[in-house]
C-alpha cells in the first residue's frame, strides 16, 4: 500500500533496446519506493511483444512488487492463450490485465476469442481463481464502440464474466469518471474501477495518443499547452498541476485508487503523488 491511504499502480511498456531495459530498472526502483500494489506491462498490437512482456514482468518483480502482464485475445487461439496462461502460472504471476487488444494494421479479427469478456470467461473456466483479473473501462466510451450505451453493456459483460477490478483509459475530466461510475453501479457492477492517469509531459505525443484512444483533452488544457510551444519546463509544471488537481478530485469523490500510465518515466508520477500527500 502506498503512503497515500489508497492503492496505486504503475504501467510500463516493454523496452525495445538494451539501453531501454537498463533505464527501466532504474525507473522501477524509484517507483517501487512509492510502495505500489503492482506494476503492469503492456504489449504490442496482436501480442507482438508478448515475450518482451513476460521478461519485463519478471524484471519488475525482482523489486519485490507484484507485476501483471497485459494479455489480449485478438489473433490468438485458445491453445496459445492456454499455453501463455500456463507459463504465467508457472512463473507465479498472480494478476493479469485481460483485454481484447488492438488490431494490428491490415489484420482482420483473427483468433478464436473476439472480445475481452470471452477472454475473462476463458481464464475463469480454465484456471478458476488462480489469477486476479483486471479489465479495461472507458469513461468516455471505447473509440470503436457503436455507442456509449453499447460500451456500458460491454463493460458489464466483462465484470459478469469474472473480472476482479477494472482500470480506466486515461481521461482529464473527473465528471466523465463519476458519470460512468453512476451508470455502471446502476447496472449492478460492484467491482472497484480505478482511474487510469496519464501525466502530461509532452503536448504533441499527448494529442496523438488522445486522438487514437478517444480521450478528450479539455480545450483549456489544449490551449494552454499550445501556448507553451517548445517550453517543456512550463508544459511539465502546468501538466503536473492539472493532473494533481484531477487526482485530488477523483480521490475526494471516492475513487478507490490510482493507476499511472508512466511511459517508462518515474518523475512525473512521483511528483503528482507527492502533491497528493
Asked if residue 190 lies in contact with residue 184, where contact means CB atoms within 8 angstroms, the answer is: no
pLDDT tens digits along 27-75: 999 999 999 999 999 985 444 556 788 889 999 999 999 999 999 888 8
Q: Which residues are catalytic?
A: 11
Please tell me the predicted confidence (pLDDT) of residue 45.
45
Q: To the nearest 10°, the Cα dihedral for 248, 144, 10, 61?
A: 160
Q: For the purposes of burial, counting CB atoms within 10 Å of the CB of 197, is it exposed (0-12), middle (13-18) or buried (19 or more)?
A: buried
pLDDT tens digits along 159-179: 999 999 999 999 999 999 999
Query: From CA 190, how far away is CA 248, in angstroms rounded?
Result: 22
Please tell me the predicted confidence (pLDDT) of residue 47.
46
What is the average pLDDT score of the chain? 91
Low-confidence ranges of the chain (pLDDT < 70): 1-4, 44-50, 102-110
Please tell me the predicted confidence (pLDDT) of residue 1.
45
Asked if residue 217 lies in contact with residue 172, where contact means CB atoms within 8 angstroms, the answer is: yes
Q: From 100, 98, 179, 191, select the one nearest 141 (Cα to Cα).
A: 179
pTM as predicted: 0.93
Amino acid at each position: 500500500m502506498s503512503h497515500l491511504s489508497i492503492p496505486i499502480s504503475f504501467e510500463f511498456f516493454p523496452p525495445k533496446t538494451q539501453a531501454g531495459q537498463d533505464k527501466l530498472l532504474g525507473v522501477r526502483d524509484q517507483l517501487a519506493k512509492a510502495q505500489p500494489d503492482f506494476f503492469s506491462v503492456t504489449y504490442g498490437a496482436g501480442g507482438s511483444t508478448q515475450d518482451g512482456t513476460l521478461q519485463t514482468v519478471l524484471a519488475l518483480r525482482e523489486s519485490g512488487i507484484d507485476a501483471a502482464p497485459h494479455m489480449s485475445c485478438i489473433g490468438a487461439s485458445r491453445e496459445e492463450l492456454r499455453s501463455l496462461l500456463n507459463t504465467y502460472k508457472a512463473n507465479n504471476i498472480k494478476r493479469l490485465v485481460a483485454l481484447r487488444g488492438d488490431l494490428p494494421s491490415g489484420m482482420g479479427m483473427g483468433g478464436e476469442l473476439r472480445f475481452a469478456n470471452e477472454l475473462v470467461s476463458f481464464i475463469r473456466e480454465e484456471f478458476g481463481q488462480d489469477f486476479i483479473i483486471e479489465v479495461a473501462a472507458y469513461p468516455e466510451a471505447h473509440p470503436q464502440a457503436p455507442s456509449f450505451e453499447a460500451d456500458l453493456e460491454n463493460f458489464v459483460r466483462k465484470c459478469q464474466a469474472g473480472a476482479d477490478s477494472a482500470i480506466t483509459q486515461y481521461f482529464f475530466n473527473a465528471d466523465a469518471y463519476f458519470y460512468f461510475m453512476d451508470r455502471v453501479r446502476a447496472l449492478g457492477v460492484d467491482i472497484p474501477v480505478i482511474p487510469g492517469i496519464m501525466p502530461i509531459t509532452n503536448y504533441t505525443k499527448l494529442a496523438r495518443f488522445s486522438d487514437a484512444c478517444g480521450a478528450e483533452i479539455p480545450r483549456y488544457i489544449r490551449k494552454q499547452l499550445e501556448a507553451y510551444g517548445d517550453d517543456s519546463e512550463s508544459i511539465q509544471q502546468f501538466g503536473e498541476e492539472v493532473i494533481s488537481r484531477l487526482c485530488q478530485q477523483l480521490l475526494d469523490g471516492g475513487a478507490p485508487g490510482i493507476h499511472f500510465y508512466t511511459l517508462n518515466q518515474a518523475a512525473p508520477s512521483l511528483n503528482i503523488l507527492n502533491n497528493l500527500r
